[in-house]
Amino acid sequence: MATGYDTIAATVDTEIEVTRSRFLTRLARVETEDEAREVIAAVRAEHPRARHHCSAFVLGPDGRVQRSNDDGEPSGTAGAPMLDALISAGLSDVVAVVTRYFGGVLLGAGGLTRAYRGAVAEAVLSAQRVHRAVRREVVVTSGYDIAGGIEAEARRRGYGVGTAEYGADVAQIYLVAEAQVEALTALAAELSAGSASVVPGLAGYVDVVHPDE
């Protein structure tokens, strides 16, 4: 399992003009090939009169899934440079769709390559990056009089705080790096005088504020 990777926080739309041709880029966060293709289809539906809707996407913590499509542009002049722009930016779980409105001037293979790569690079610059890292769910169950203090100190340390269940006690989920599980266990024991229950659960990727922890 990769230690972490970068993606984007939300969809961005940008536009550049190259020799009277307009290049509209949508950069969206996705997790599966189906989601990526839904974004591509949605852009195509929004711009039915555009000549080309070229695309590229990278998926997975290790960026293993990589796809690109020239959508009628000369082979290798659109999808591949778009994909290269995503990979060079170090992003995964993203799809880029570049819609081209032809301006009447032929750009040539080199011009097209630069335009499509530049269109995606511009969108990347406009996007807010998000780091995703492996975090383990840890359920800390304690009395109501103690739960608030544990949560406050956990937040101060930068631990992720998830949902809680309220019954006879409070069962609060925390999301912590593997190296922090022992520290959270010690914190709960200290603040509860040993009465809190700490149960580690599954690990998975989550958006994090402090990627180095």
Same domain, 91 and 27: yes
Same domain, 162 and 115: no
Max Cα–Cα distance, the chain, nearest Å? 76
CATH number for position 139: 3.30.70.240
Q: What is the pLDDT of residue 3?
A: 76
Residue finishing a domain among 127, 157, 181: 127
Residue finishing a domain among 105, 127, 149: 127
52 has which bridge partners? 100
Average pLDDT over every residue of 47-70: 95
- Of residues 104 and 57, which shows the higher confidence score? 57
In-domain check, residue 213: no
State the Cα–Cα distance between residues 164 and 186, nearest whole angstrom.
20
% the chain with pLDDT above 90: 88
Flag whether pLDDT at 210 surpasses 80. Answer: no
Domain count, the chain: 2
Q: What is the pLDDT of residue 103?
A: 82
Look up the domain containing 18 and give its range: 4-127
pLDDT band at 1 (very low <50, low <70, confident <90, very high): low
Q: What is the pLDDT of residue 212?
A: 47
* Strands 170-176, 12-18: pairing kind: unpaired
Flag whether pLDDT at 60 surpasses 50. Answer: yes
* Mean pLDDT, rounded, of the chain: 93
